[in-house]
Amino acid sequence: MAACRRVQLFLLLIFISDWICSGQGGKPPSLDDEHAPDNIDRAKNPAGEGKAAAVDGAPVAWRSGGWKLAEEAACREDVSKICPKHSWNNNLAVLECLQDRKDELEIGADCNHLLWNYKLNLTTDPKFESVAVEVCKSTISGIKECAAEERGKGYLVSCLVDHRTNISEYQCNQYITKMTSIIFSDYRLICGFMDKCKDDINKLRCGSVNTGEKDVHSQGEVIACLEKGLVTEAEEQPGQYTIKEDCKKAIMRVAELSSDDFHLDRHLYFVCRDDRERFCENTPAGEGKVYKCLFNHKFEESMSDKCKDALSTRQKLIAQDYKVSYSLAKACKPDLRKYRCNMDTAMPRAREAKLSYLLLCLESAVHRGQTVSGECQGEMLDYRRMLMEDYSLSPEIVLHCRGEIETHCSGLHHKGRTLHCLMRVSRDKGILEGHCQKALQTLIQETDPGADYRIDRALNEACESVIQTACKHIRNGDPMILSCLMEHLYTDKMVEDCEHRLLELQYFISRDWKLDPILYKKCQNDAARICHTHGWNETSEFMPPGAVFSCLYRHAYRTEMQGRRGSSESSEVSLEELSRDCKTEVQRILHQRALDVKLDPELQQRCMTDLGKWCSEKTEPGQELECLQDHLEDLVSVCRDVVGNLTELESEDIQIEALLIRACEPVIQSHCHEVADNQIDTGDLMECLVANKHQKEMNEKCAVGVTHFQLIQMKDFRFSYKFKMACKEDVLKLCPNIKKKVDVVICLSTTVRNDTLQEVKDQRVSMKCRKQLRVEELEMSEDIRLEPDLYESCRQDIKQHCQNVVFGNAQVIECLKENKKLLTQHCHQKLFRLQETEMIDPELDFQLMRVCKQMIRRFCTETDAKNMLQCLKQNKNSELMDPKCKQMITKRQITQNTDYRLNPVLRKACKADIPKFCQSILNKAKDDSELEGQVISCLKLKYADQRLSPDCEDQIRVILQESALDYRLDPQLQLQCNEEIPRLCAEEVAAQEQTGQVEECLKVNLLKISHEGCKKEVLNILKESKADIFVDPVLHTACALDIKHQCAAIPPGRGRQMSCLMEALQDKRVRLQPECKKRLQDRIDMWGYAAKVAPAEGFSDLAGQVFLSPAKNYILSILLTCVLVLFLMGLLCGRITKRVTQELKNRKLDQPWATPLQKDRTVHSY
């Protein structure tokens, strides 16, 4: 300010008179001493001349007279070389031309010194403000801020410069515009600046305050150096010098005053002059337009490094004080005033000026539904994009993320890629409490890219092709674009780069519910009412941003809060429910979070250790959550709770599993579209998917996903929403402390069965639970893995015998059944129990129900589920029976015949006969292992002896008839003759006609059978055939006509029709069919041989053989003759014995003395 006081008063008078009179001559200032007042006094006041020259209406005569810079010897050569001739008569035009010259054009030192004195005279005297007062008199009175400025300190001109857009007076506007370019050409010309920043300039070594040591170009660099020092200080670089507060204000004031025209930032003007011509040639100066244009091209490859650096410094200043951006300050001034964004007394004044505070305040107003002008919103969008493009504009990130940038993200300072690299590092590391993480989270809130994806340039460029194809129906810039991109994550339309950028951004958006503008809009009232939240840019210790969404989703799915883990917390939750719109948005967010475990902050935080321990190799989409569910029992308690709650949530609304729903889209459209269209899913969709798991539309991904969810449900009955809701009270009452679903199902099923068997009037299990229990039992029968106890017991057997068999469709269970003789004892026992259950309730036999589905509809529509197999057996030989179903029925018959316990109908019918006739076999039997048909063979023999009860006899007759047609239904025959059948009857076995040909072959080759056990079984078949001709299908077929003609009136059973045919064979008057006659004769021979080989084991067997023998009349007559002879002999012997006895008595009576003597002898003998 010392130089300001050296200007004499009459200079001002000369200037005023010159300005008024339009021109008088004078001598130029002396070049010998810039501080000599006498020399300056003799100079023509340049301000006045500049003013006159600036006015277009000035007379030409004035322009040709007076002192001119172009005519001075020190500058004449430079002016003629650099400046156009038409500007020589205008001193200010010459001044502007010389100071705006290109770098390669140098001017002489004397000319430079002359220019300095010329500008100094214009600016250094405090009385200079009087000129502005005279020129801008009415303007100053109209601008309150300028009228209130203290005079004599140079602030009036600064105020007029600040408000020059509001200056309507033409002459005042022109005067201020020209003075602005002069003032900002050299920091020493700005009144008050040098006094405030002199020490800081020297400390930072930004240049010398001594005039003349720096040329005009380097003087702009002094301010640039101070600005760089200011922004570096904000980044808290190690060892950084702290600029004094007065100088800081002066620097920011200079930056603010130069925000209108980029010419005023001399350093930036010079370093970016070529870039301006390259990128912004058609952009007019003023209103900060050139700045914005250069900002937009900052990352162009052809942009010079010096210009990039200068632009970054300017942007950092804007970040510290939004008023450094002329366009932003102008556009948002009314809105800032309207929403009191600079009236927060709780904030320090410095923060109110920060760009981040402005953005948060106005964004909060927008999110509250209040109106912010379109011009202001446009400016906000530009600067939000600017912050996202360049991480260095955010001091907190530079400070706290320095290590991560150096280690992971060096060299990526391009179009927001560094920020996304930091996001990726934070996402991969999961550092939830790190300072870098917090700085990134703060930046995301300030820029709010969730509201407009275009703010994130890296995301915008990476996802442009996806948006054009998958989201073209959504308006450009709409918040739903991000949601649309998430919906197409991991689809064919998604590209890899977009996928990465999207997940990196969503990782941070998911940690603050306010950053999803749609969710915030729909749920802000619910959140305030239920979760006690505050404004958009306000936080609370008691309800941090991450906890708000948890609060919302607990209320969105509050139908059964008491069933969830953490019931103590749930019990305190308000009973208020969310609005429909809010619940829809909560569901949308949950669907998105299910795509990646890292998008669920609570899950990632609590399960970080378990994710590293169990799931480090699970990198595919959705695998991490599946892995956690698979290891549910192994997780730490806090992780187990959150995974359990999420799994319960999925069971209620499986559409949360977006990847699964996407994979199952074909089957949903074909079979489950009705339940999928329901706005509220209550487990119906998953139930439908399970029911249609084996439809042709079901692809492998969907089937695997559905099966996995079924397996997870086995871990806890609460993971099955419908089952939990239907049976919750029953479980608490009848099966307390039981957690695993399979155990709960067994517990409830056992209760239902016991109540049914005991014919209890009021069953303990409720009707709705019984219905859902049935659904669960049917679902469990489809895959052995859904029977954990059986699966664990047979895991080794599956690996050994069924390694290539695919799970599902009960194929592994079927494989074990086919290899049951090779299974380990434990597995065999478990499988036997399963088969016993299936035979009692055939509907649980998944393979049977699946293969015979159509046949059940055809033959057994009205049959009870428990009698389904019986119905199928009765229709097995129908011409309409499907071959595959027939084969499956045969398999089940073979299984039933191995053990009477697997045939519920037989077991019930022969309840009294089995212990009566087959107790010895039962005594040797072991639990849970087949008796290999021994009991049934025992009953067959008793059937031949006609000793069974009527009900049991009927069932055995059916078994005999069926096994006579197919030898495989006779387990003992197959067991004993497993070597003889292939040797003697290979052709019959290969024919697979199931018409009794194998049995007939064995009968015919009875003499060739060497195995005694096999021979005995064949003899038993022959014996059984005597009891009923139906047991001998070959003979029955051959004699069908003869039975119809000769034995029509004789009922079948007990050998009656067989005896009829034998009598007809003996009767010469009856002519039987040749084939029948031949077969009967063969049977007689076989029986004769059987009698020789296997004599009767008892009287009953002997009597049976006699009565069934064709020569029974002859045998009976012989036996009768023998009995008669024996009777006569008995009579004869009896009469003789009676006579001898009488004679002895008479003899004793004739010799009475002999009696005492005899007695005495007897006594003496003792």
User: Which of 232-236, 905-909, 1091-1095 has maximum average pLDDT?
Assistant: 905-909
Give the pLDDT mean for 106-133. 68
Q: Do 61 and 230 form a contact (C-beta atoms < 8 A)?
A: no
Q: Is the confidence at residue 64, as pLDDT, over 90?
A: no
Q: What is the rounded distance in angstroms from the CA atom of residue 665 to the CA atom of residue 672? A: 9
Rounded to two decimals, the pTM is: 0.70
Tokens of residue 710, six digits = 């079924």
Q: What is the pLDDT at residue 124? A: 53
In terms of C-beta density within 10 A (0-12 exposed, 13-18 middle, 19 or more buried), how is residue 828 classed? buried
- Using CA atoms, how far residue 1164 sits from 526, 717, 1151, 1153, 1157, in Å, is 127, 98, 22, 18, 11
Q: Model confidence at 909, in pLDDT bands (50, 70, 90)?
A: very high
Q: Is the confidence at residue 758, as pLDDT, over 70?
A: yes
The tens digit of pLDDT for each residue in 961-980 reads 888 888 888 888 888 898 99
List all residues 6 or more positions away from 1109 whose beta carbon is below 8 Å from its beta carbon.
1087, 1115
Q: What is the pLDDT at residue 995? A: 82
In terms of C-beta density within 10 A (0-12 exposed, 13-18 middle, 19 or more buried), how is residue 666 classed? middle
| Selected residue with higher pLDDT from 243 and 210 | 243
Q: Is the confidence at residue 46, as pLDDT, over 50?
A: no
Of 409-418, 704-713, 999-1008, 1068-1077, the poorest mean pLDDT is in 409-418
Q: What is the pLDDT at residue 145? A: 76
Tokens of residue 285, six digits = 């100066």
Q: What is the pLDDT at residue 343? A: 54
Strand partners for 27:
43
The tens digit of pLDDT for each residue in 635-645 reads 999 999 999 98
Q: What is the rounded distance in angstroms from the CA atom of residue 543 to the CA atom of residue 140? A: 51
Q: Is the confidence at residue 56, as pLDDT, over 50?
A: no
Q: Model confidence at 60, in pLDDT bands (50, 70, 90)?
A: very low
User: Which of 181-190, 425-434, 908-917 has maximum average pLDDT?
Assistant: 908-917
Q: Do 1110 and 1088 form a contact (C-beta atoms < 8 A)?
A: no
Q: Do 58 and 65 form a contact (C-beta atoms < 8 A)?
A: no
Q: Measuring CA to CA, which residue among 618, 637, 622 is closest to residue 704? A: 622
Scanning 463-529, the segments in alpha helix (DSSP H) are: 464-470, 480-487, 496-509, 517-526
| Selected residue with higher pLDDT from 420 and 933 | 420
Q: What is the pLDDT at residue 532? A: 84
Of 206-220, 785-799, 1110-1124, 1128-1142, the poorest mean pLDDT is in 206-220
Angle between helices 767-780 and 721-734 (to 10 degrees): 120
Q: Is the confidence at residue 219, as pLDDT, over 80?
A: no
Q: What is the pLDDT at residue 351? A: 54
| Selected residue with higher pLDDT from 36 and 395 | 395
Q: How many residues does the chain have?
A: 1166
The tens digit of pLDDT for each residue in 1057-1111 reads 888 888 888 888 888 888 998 888 888 888 877 777 655 555 555 565 565 555 6
- Whole-number average pLDDT of the chain: 80
Q: What is the rounded distance in angstroms from the CA atom of residue 982 to the CA atom of residue 989? A: 8
Scanning 46-143, the segments in alpha helix (DSSP H) are: 46-54, 60-64, 73-82, 91-99, 109-123, 129-135, 137-142
| Selected residue with higher pLDDT from 187 and 850 | 850
| Selected residue with higher pLDDT from 137 and 430 | 137
- Using CA atoms, how far residue 1100 sits from 488, 934, 956, 960, 1024, in Å, is 83, 21, 20, 21, 14
Q: Model confidence at 577, in pLDDT bands (50, 70, 90)?
A: confident
Q: Model confidence at 10, in pLDDT bands (50, 70, 90)?
A: very low
- How many other CB atoms are found less than 10 A from the CB of residue 332? 27
Q: Do 1016 and 1090 form a contact (C-beta atoms < 8 A)?
A: no
The tens digit of pLDDT for each residue in 341-387 reads 865 544 444 555 788 888 888 998 898 889 999 999 999 999 999 99
| Selected residue with higher pLDDT from 752 and 180 | 752
Q: What is the rounded distance in angstroms from the CA atom of residue 163 to the CA atom of residue 140? A: 10
Q: What is the rounded distance in angstroms from the CA atom of residue 970 to the CA atom of residue 1109? A: 26
Q: What is the rounded distance in angstroms from the CA atom of residue 718 to the CA atom of residue 724? A: 5
Give the pLDDT mean for 122-142. 71
Share of the chain above pLDDT 90, in %: 28
Q: Do 966 and 890 form a contact (C-beta atoms < 8 A)?
A: yes
- Using CA atoms, how far residue 483 sits from 442, 478, 554, 583, in Å, is 22, 10, 22, 16
Q: Is the confidence at residue 1141, as pLDDT, over 80?
A: no
Match 């200032």 to its residue by tokens. Answer: 29
Q: What is the rounded distance in angstroms from the CA atom of residue 573 to the CA atom of residue 567? A: 10
Residue 1001 C-beta-side C-alpha neighbours within 13 Å: 21
- How many other CB atoms are found less than 10 A from the CB of residue 215? 15
Q: Model confidence at 38, in pLDDT bands (50, 70, 90)?
A: very low
Question: Would you call 27 helix, strand, or coil by DSSP?
Answer: strand
Q: What is the pLDDT at residue 238? A: 63
Q: What is the rounded distance in angstroms from the CA atom of residue 516 to the CA atom of residue 451? A: 7
Q: What is the pLDDT at residue 120? A: 60
User: Which of 230-239, 612-621, 712-721 has maximum average pLDDT?
Assistant: 712-721
Q: Measuring CA to CA, which residue among 332, 299, 336, 292 is closest to residue 314? A: 292
Give the pLDDT mean for 463-489. 92
Amino acid at 153: K
Of 233-237, 1053-1057, 1125-1129, the poorest mean pLDDT is in 233-237
Q: Do 751 and 706 form a contact (C-beta atoms < 8 A)?
A: no
Q: What is the rounded distance in angstroms from the CA atom of residue 265 to the CA atom of residue 887? A: 93
Note every long-range contact of 1078-1083, with CB atoms under 8 Å and residues 24 or more positions apart, other chains counting. Answer: 1078/1038, 1079/1034, 1079/1035, 1079/1038, 1079/1039, 1080/1035, 1080/1039, 1082/1004, 1083/1022, 1083/1025, 1083/1032, 1083/1035
Q: What is the rounded distance in angstroms from the CA atom of residue 1060 to the CA atom of residue 1044? A: 11
